[in-house]
């Protein structure tokens, strides 16, 4: 279709706009140079049957994005528009590092719909298969792990992809690391309460569609497992298991053809029969005969891959372990040879000057051998013993900080931010200090870890049986929330007989149990005359919100529009999962961590699957030029991501662990930036856990 560049009216084939009397242009050309939301459309990348993809740029942030624009004629069809909107909704609901991110959604000046998404630079599996045929086994496993994790996350959130195929998988490199992304949730479908969904026709690609999808029957996650199994089969063999030019042809092949095992089709490499079993099970015609969950498929394939490595005389590779490209070895080897030559020359000059008879050939050979050895050892992971030694050092650093009254607060805050149970021992140790404010923070951190264990409960009981103060009140409240009626009554007694401060503190805690007190606590916050006082009374919003008091929740949501980033962060942390990902991204438009608060904001975004935010935290941690306080907070945020299991790839985890090891072992950092060293120690405890 054609568009008037002045009034943006649409025409079928009219060369001039009758209203403005200017030449019309093709709809794919008009958008270049225009703004779509905050992004400027820079150039067109590709054009397909449903729409056009452009490169866009945020003029302030400099971030480049892909903008997918639906064709004008298709924007008139409600079913197509629903598919387009469904893609944005599904991706944002799932929020996974191996699914392409979607940042925004809107309409162009001439009314067509668009979505703004992560710009990927790489090749689809279809392009790789077409150019090279069957893929190397290491790449197959890398793709299986990444896309399997993405589909597993989608299934947990109740979504079926329904169009898993090589064209919808992108492999590329970013920051020296390979990544794999699942694309196009345009025909994804939300599961109903019965855990099935009507197929709504037979949308999809026939060669990768399950028998039940081809038959128009109800679908569940096992249909995606079948499609993914077909992709794995093609990656291993270079051919689809059930060929056919149409839906009927593919269905006929499913009924009449038994696909040979991948080990029979692939003669250039040895494939274990256990891989055959895993793949053939995934593409079984009966849904009940397949792997029932994506987790089962990944475990079966992983065991088969390990068996393949053992049969080839190689140790099993850990799931997600990064591959090192031959280019890295080539560059490392070249560097080693160059280094050897330089050392040889220097050695020759020194020896000649000191009248010692050593030939340059001997010196060069020794130096080259040393350089080659260093290059061969460079890609290896640190051994277990160095990591164990670093963990012991980290524990000593944390213990020293907790024992020091002036440093204990920093340690407690860091552990609270990370939220890992394996550090509860340090929190319990901090309770020995008599500082009531510190004790209150410790109790708050222990509460965030969940139901207290026996040792923790004993310490809380001891603390709650003291006279009323902020620490004992919080301890009694934690016990009461876990069913201790005696301490609930103790809170009520303190509230009835205590002084003004005690009444206010107990009111906030009792609001969890008493609807009338929720209203009273909320009004106490609302009556505060200054912002500073209101910040001090955040607990009067937090507890009623956790008890389901709507007005408190609405006020917390309003805090997301505050000018103060720290206020917004606190509100977002309290709202937690009740805060939508879209609202979270709208409230925190942070790209680089220039302050501790900005690092915290990136951490919140990364928890919702924003890979860019997670990578920015990783990059910041490794930059010596960044303020030590900011690097320290990045370490803590990455520790929180690891504790929650949302950090992303194994490569990213290893990169962070290595950076934390370097920070921890650096004595200059320990002396000049003790907070950075301490927070790196806290984060390393989490990253050392498998």
User: How confident is the model over 383-412, as a mean pLDDT?
Assistant: 82
Are 555 and 544 within 8 A, CB to CB? no
Find the catalytic residue in 27, 104, 163, 220: 163
Between the alpha carbon of residue 519 and those of residues 180, 558, 670, the distances in Å are 50, 18, 48
pLDDT higher than threshold 70 for residue 332: no
> CA–CA separation, 676 vs 688, rounded Å?
18
pLDDT higher than threshold 60 for residue 550: yes
Q: Give, as one character, the DSSP assignment of residue 148.
A: H
Residue 61 makes CB contacts below 8 A (sequence gap 6+) with 589, 591
Q: Is 116 left (phi over 0), alpha (psi -120 to 50) or beta?
A: beta
Q: Three-state SS for 116?
A: strand
Q: What residue spans of 95-220 are helical by DSSP H?
A: 125-132, 137-156, 211-214
pLDDT higher than threshold 90 for residue 209: yes
> CA–CA separation, 676 vs 678, rounded Å?
5
Predicted confidence at residue 497, as pLDDT, reads: 87
pTM of the model: 0.47
C-alpha radius of gyration, the chain, whole number? 30
pLDDT in tens, 360-370: 334 333 333 44
Higher pLDDT, 369 or 59: 59
Q: What residue spans of 511-595 are helical by DSSP H?
A: 515-527, 531-536, 539-546, 550-559, 565-575, 581-587
How do the residues of the chain divide into helix, strand and coil, expressed in percent and rounded to 5? 60, 10, 30
Q: Three-state SS for 11?
A: strand
pLDDT in tens, 215-269: 888 889 999 999 999 999 999 999 999 998 888 899 999 988 889 999 998 877 8
Predicted confidence at residue 376, as pLDDT, reads: 39
Instruction: State the DSSP string of 19-42.
Output: TT--B-EEHHHHTTT-EETTEEEE
Q: Is 569 left (phi over 0), alpha (psi -120 to 50) or beta?
A: alpha
Predicted confidence at residue 144, as pLDDT, reads: 95
Q: ∠ at Cα 435 (434, 440), nearest 5°?
A: 110
- Run of H or E residues at 118: strand 113-118
Extract the tokens encoding 470: 């902020």
Place of tokens 């909107």: 85
Based on the residue annotation, tell me whether 619 is a catalytic residue of this protein: no
Confidence at 375, pLDDT banded by 50, 70, 90: very low
Torsion of CA 396, 399, 403, 404, to 10 degrees: 60
pLDDT in tens, 147-203: 999 999 999 988 888 889 999 999 988 766 788 999 887 655 544 434 344 444 456
C-alpha 303: how far from its chain's center? 25
Q: Three-state SS for 312?
A: coil
Residue 223 makes CB contacts below 8 A (sequence gap 6+) with 160, 162, 209, 210, 212, 213, 287
- Run of H or E residues at 348: helix 326-353
pLDDT higher than threshold 80 for residue 479: yes
Confidence at 80, pLDDT banded by 50, 70, 90: confident
Predicted confidence at residue 102, as pLDDT, reads: 84
The dihedrals phi and psi of 102, each to the nearest 5 degrees, come to -120, 125
Are 545 and 554 within 8 A, CB to CB? no
Predicted confidence at residue 196, as pLDDT, reads: 44
Are 119 and 148 within 8 A, CB to CB? no
Helix axes 596-607, 565-575, angle to 10 degrees: 30
Torsion of CA 73, 76, 77, 82, to 10 degrees: 110
The dihedrals phi and psi of 523, each to the nearest 5 degrees, come to -70, -30
Confidence at 314, pLDDT banded by 50, 70, 90: low
pLDDT in tens, 145-159: 999 999 999 999 888
Instruction: State the DSSP string of 368-426.
Output: HHHHHHHHHHTTSPPPHHHHHHHHHHHHHHHHHHHHSHHHHHHHHHHHHHHT-GGGHHH
Strand pairing report for 10-11 and 35-36: unpaired
Strand pairing report for 2-3 and 10-11: antiparallel
Extract the tokens encoding 274: 């256990």
Predicted confidence at residue 432, as pLDDT, reads: 85
Extract the tokens encoding 439: 């004790």
pLDDT higher than threshold 60 for residue 384: no
Predicted confidence at residue 75, as pLDDT, reads: 78
The answer to whether the Cα torsion of 254, 255, 257, 259 is positive or negative is positive
Strand pairing report for 51-57 and 39-47: antiparallel
Predicted confidence at residue 346, as pLDDT, reads: 41
Q: Which residue(s) pair with 178 in the sheet? A: 173
Are 514 and 521 within 8 A, CB to CB? no
Are 592 and 616 within 8 A, CB to CB? yes
Indicate the burial class of 158 (C-beta count within 10 angstroms; 0-12, 13-18, 19 or more): middle
pLDDT in tens, 92-146: 788 888 998 888 888 888 888 898 988 888 899 999 999 889 999 989 999 999 9
What the chain holds in terms of domains, given with CATH numbers, is 31-118 (3.30.200.20), 123-311 (1.10.510.10), 326-377 (no CATH)
Are 202 and 245 within 8 A, CB to CB? no
Q: Give, as one character, the DSSP assignment of residue 157.
A: T
pLDDT in tens, 605-637: 888 888 888 888 888 888 776 777 788 888 888
């Amino acid at each position: 279709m054609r568009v008037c560049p002045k009034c943006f009216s649409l025409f079928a084939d009219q060369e001039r706009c009758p209203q403005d009397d200017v030449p019309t242009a093709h709809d794919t050309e008009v958008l270049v140079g225009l703004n779509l939301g905050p992004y400027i459309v820079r150039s067109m990348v590709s054009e397909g049957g449903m729409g056009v993809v452009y490169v866009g740029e945020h003029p302030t942030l400099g971030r480049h994005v892909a903008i997918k624009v639906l064709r004008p004629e298709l924007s008139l069809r409600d079913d197509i528009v629903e598919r387009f909107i469904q893609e944005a909704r599904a991706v944002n609901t799932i929020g996974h590092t191996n699914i392409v991110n979607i940042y925004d959604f809107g309409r162009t000046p001439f009314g067509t719909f668009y979505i703004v998404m992560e710009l990927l630079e790489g090749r689809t599996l279809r392009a790789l298969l077409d150019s090279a045929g069957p893929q190397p086994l290491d790449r197959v496993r890398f793709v299986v792990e990444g896309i399997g994790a993405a589909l597993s996350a989608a299934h947990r959130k109740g979504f079926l992809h329904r169009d898993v195929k090589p064209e919808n998988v992108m492999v590329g490199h970013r920051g020296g690391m390979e990544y794999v992304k699942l694309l196009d949730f345009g025909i994804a479908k939300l599961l109903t309460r019965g855990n099935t969904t009507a197929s709504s026709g037979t949308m999809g690609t026939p060669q990768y569609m399950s028998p039940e999808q081809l038959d128009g029957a109800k679908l569940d996650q096992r249909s995606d497992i079948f499609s993914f199994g077909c992709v794995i089969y093609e990656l291993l063999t270079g051919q689809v298991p059930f060929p056919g030019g149409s839906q009927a042809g593919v269905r006929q092949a499913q009924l009449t053809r038994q696909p040979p095992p991948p080990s029979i089709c692939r003669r250039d490499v040895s494939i274990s029969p256990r891989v055959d079993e895993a793949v053939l099970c995934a593409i079984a015609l009966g849904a009940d005969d397949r792997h029932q969950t994506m987790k089962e498929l990944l475990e079966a394939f992983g065991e088969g891959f390990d068996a393949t490595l053992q049969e080839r005389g190689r140790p099993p590779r850990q799931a997600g372990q990064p591959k090192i490209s031959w280019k890295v070895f080539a560059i490392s080897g070249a560097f080693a040879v160059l280094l050897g030559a330089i050392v040889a020359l220097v050695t020759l000059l020194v020896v000649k000057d000191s009248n010692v008879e050593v030939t340059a050939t001997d010196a060069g050979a020794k130096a080259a051998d040393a350089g080659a050895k260093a290059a061969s050892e460079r890609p290896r992971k640190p051994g277990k013993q160095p990591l164990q030694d670093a963990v012991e050092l980290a524990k000593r650093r944390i213990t020293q900080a907790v024992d020091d009254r002036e440093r204990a607060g920093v340690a407690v805050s860091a552990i609270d931010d990370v939220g890992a149970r394996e550090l509860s021992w340090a929190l319990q140790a901090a309770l020995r200090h008599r500082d009531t404010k510190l004790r209150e923070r410790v109790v708050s951190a222990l509460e965030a870890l969940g139901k207290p264990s026996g040792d923790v409960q004993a310490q809380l009981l001891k603390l709650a049986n003291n006279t009323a103060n902020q620490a004992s009140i919080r301890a009694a409240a934690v016990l009461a929330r876990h069913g201790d009626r005696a301490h609930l009554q103790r809170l009520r007694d303190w509230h009835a007989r205590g002084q003004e401060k005690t009444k206010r503190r107990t009111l906030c805690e009792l609001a969890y149990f008493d609807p009338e007190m929720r209203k009273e606590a909320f009004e106490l916050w609302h009556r505060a005359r200054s912002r500073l006082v209101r910040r001090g009374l955040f607990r009067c919003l937090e507890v009623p919100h956790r008890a389901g008091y709507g007005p408190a929740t609405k006020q917390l949501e309003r805090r997301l529009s505050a000018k103060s980033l720290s206020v917004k962060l606190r509100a977002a942390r309290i709202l937690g999962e009740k805060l939508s990902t879209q609202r979270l991204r709208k409230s925190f438009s942070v790209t680089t961590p220039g302050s501790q608060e900005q690092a915290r904001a990136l951490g919140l975004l990364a928890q919702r699957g924003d890979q860019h935010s997670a990578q920015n935290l990783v990059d910041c941690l490794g930059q010596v030029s960044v303020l030590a306080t900011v690097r320290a907070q990045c370490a803590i945020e990455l520790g929180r991501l690891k504790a929650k299991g949302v950090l992303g790839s194994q490569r990213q985890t290893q990169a962070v662990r290595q950076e934390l090891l370097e920070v921890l072992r650096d004595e200059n950092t320990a002396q000049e930036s003790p907070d950075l060293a301490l927070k790196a120690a806290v984060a390393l405890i989490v990253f050392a856990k498998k």
